[in-house]
Amino acid sequence: MSALGEKPFRGPQVMQWLHQYGVDDFAAMTNLSKALRARLSEAATIIGPRVKLDQVAADGTRKWLFELADGNCIESVFIPDDGRGTLCVSSQAGCSLNCTFCATGAQGFNRDLTPEEIVGQVWQASRLLGSKGQSQRVITNVVFMGMGEPLLNYENVVQAIRVFLDDVAYGLSRRRVTVSTAGMVPLIDRLREECPVSLAVSLHAPNDSLRTELVPLNRKYPIAQLLDTCRRYVANDPHRKVTFEYVMLAGVNDSPAHAQELVTLLRDVPAKVNLIPFNPFAHTRYQRSSQATIDAFRDVLWQAGLITITRRTRGDDIDAACGQLAGQVRDRTGRRERWLARMAPGN
Ligand code: SAH
């Protein structure tokens, strides 16, 4: 606005129109003069990601396949729950980490999303969900648990988060924005200093040898380092906890002994544990742990006083559950091909 020679308060006005009222046309911004609206239309365009697919699951979970300007497709998932609505957003087209149990990892990596492509998911989803103004906000929480490793796209993710937190845009509190990471230790520290939103860490195993097998990034940042960083993350706030995600893979990481090992590991970390029943996808070698196994695992954690919840599997009839988001990215790494070859019979 300053560059256009306008008063600075016009900026927040435009932000409100865009993000709280979801308008996609400057002409609709009726508290701006006609002349200014005309100038804005010449200087800028308002475009969000194109909706390629819009699916609603039996439980109300809604998944969008969004097409970006360059043809890459990413997925976002809306999860309604009593009194809140969580949008799960993607931070990259594909993912460069190669976690063995994740569909996004298996499809390779194309590129980082720009800040506008990250915000665009929330913008487009709010519009499609019929959000109007701050009072009728449908999206109350944003989680970076879609495609990609958010901390490997640090700058753009933080820029987008600033829009989610901004009162003239989405006005979410820091607690209601969650970054989930496979464990990029130095960047967790940077996030704590620069933008301390809620932190979730994909732990998935109680010791280094098993974790390295499941989350290869563990080779670079082993568990002891990761947990040190987690302790630092919440050290200044006695009410905060780090959420540890733990995918339940039958016969791999789900025994009572693993649960006991996890209890010991997390003894002095302010932690919540989120058990995620494994969600299968094509060609995977893993199976979901049985409900009885998951309950037994949870009971060991409960008996030790660890806050533990089993994540309800949402939207699995439309492949919208954790780890099933695969979009349609143009893999530039060749990983998808190598992966399929490895999965082929005889290998
Ligand atoms: N890269 C980030 C965010 C992506 S995924 C991270 O690693 O945290 C969000 C969560 O879903 C992570 O905990 C991830 O490990 C988990 N997940 C991945 N694949 C899964 C699957 N097939 N079933 C269940 N959870 C899965």
pLDDT at 187 over 80: yes
pLDDT for 31-54, tens place per residue?
999 999 999 999 999 999 999 999
Does residue 62 have a pLDDT over 70? yes
pLDDT of residue 282: 84
Q: Which residue has the higher pLDDT, 313 or 3?
A: 3
Residue indicated by tokens 């967790």: 188
For residue 92, what is the domain's CATH number? 3.20.20.70
The CB of 246 under 6 Å from ligand 1? The reply is: no
Are 256 and 268 in contact, with CB atoms under 8 Å apart? Answer: no
Q: Are 200 and 149 in contact (CB under 8 A)?
A: no
Residue range 223-282, pLDDT digits in tens = 999 999 999 999 999 899 999 999 999 999 999 999 999 999 999 999 999 999 998 888
Q: What pLDDT does 276 receive?
A: 95
Atom number of ligand 1 nearest to Cα 95: 1
Residue-wise pLDDT tens digits, 272-304: 999 999 988 888 999 999 999 999 999 999 999
In angstroms, how far is the first alpha carbon of the chain from the final one?
A: 60
CA 322 – ligand 1 centroid, Å? 6
Closest by alpha carbon to 198, among 171, 167, 230? 230
Kindly tell me if the per-residue pLDDT of 347 is higher than 60: no
Tokens 């905060």 locate to 240
pLDDT of the residue at 281: 85
Q: Calculate the alpha carbon distances from 10 to 5, 92, 273, 274 in Å.
A: 11, 32, 44, 43
Q: Is residue 166 part of a domain?
A: yes
Q: Is the CB of 180 under 6 A from ligand 1?
A: yes
| pLDDT in the model for residue 83 | 86
Residue 127 host element (H or E): helix 115-128
Cβ(180)–Cβ(146) under 8 Å? Answer: no
d(CA 45, CA 40): 8
For 277, other C-beta atoms within 10 Å of its C-beta total: 23
Binning pLDDT at 50, 70 and 90, where does residue 87 land? Answer: very high
Residue 68 lies in a domain: yes
Cα 5 to averaged position of ligand 1 atoms, centre (Å): 47
Q: Where is 214: in which H helix or E strand? A: helix 208-214
> What pLDDT, on a 0 to 100 scale, did the predictor assign at position 316?
74
**Which residue is closest in CA terms to ligand 1's atom 4?**
145
List active site positions.
75, 322
Q: Atom 24 in ligand 1: which residue has the minimum CA distance?
A: 278
> What DSSP string runs through 179-207?
EEES--HHHHHHHHHH---EEEEE---SS
The pLDDT value recorded for residue 64 is 94
Closest CA to 134 of 19, 306, 250: 19
Residue type, 201: V
Pocket test for ligand 1, best of 74, 197, 217, 245 (most atoms within 8 A of CB): 245
Average pLDDT for 95-99 = 93
Q: How high is the pLDDT of residue 104?
A: 84
Structural domain includes residue 168: yes
Give every strand in the sheet of 50-56, ordered side by side: 50-56, 62-67, 73-81, 84-88, 141-144, 177-181, 198-202, 242-248, 271-277, 307-310
Q: What integer is the mean pLDDT of 151-158?
A: 98
Question: Does 19 reside within a domain?
Answer: no
Q: How many domains does the chain have?
A: 1
How confident is the model over 212-224, as a mean pLDDT? 98
Confidence of residue 344 (pLDDT cuts 50, 70, 90): low
Instruction: Decide if 191 contacts 199 (C-beta within 8 A).
Output: yes
| 23 is a domain residue | no
What are the C-alpha distances in Å from 142 to residues 67, 115, 121?
Answer: 20, 15, 10
Q: Is the CB of 279 under 6 A from ligand 1?
A: yes
Domain that holds residue 249: 47-343
Q: Which amino acid belongs to residue 320?
A: A
Give the count of beta carbons closer than 10 Å to the beta carbon of residue 342. 10
Q: Contact at 8 Å (CB) between 332 and 110? A: yes
What pLDDT was estimated at residue 197? 97
SS3 17: helix
User: Is 284 part of any domain?
Assistant: yes
Average pLDDT over residues 158-180: 97
Say if residue 107 is exposed, middle or buried (CB neighbours under 10 Å; 0-12, 13-18, 19+): buried
One-letter amino acid for residue 332 of the chain:
R
Section 127-134 average pLDDT: 78
Mean pLDDT for the stretch of residues 208-218: 97
Rounded distance between C-alpha atoms, residue 248 and residue 185, angstroms: 24
> Percent helix, strand, coil in the chain (nearest 5)?
35, 20, 40
- Entry pTM: 0.93
Q: Is a pLDDT exceeding 60 seen at residue 345? A: no
What is the longest distance spanned by two Cα atoms in the chain? 70
Measured from the Cβ of residue 189, the count of other Cβ atoms closer than 10 Å reads 14
Residue 258 lies in a domain: yes
Q: Is residue 31 assigned to a domain?
A: no
- Residue 66's DSSP bridge partners are 51, 74
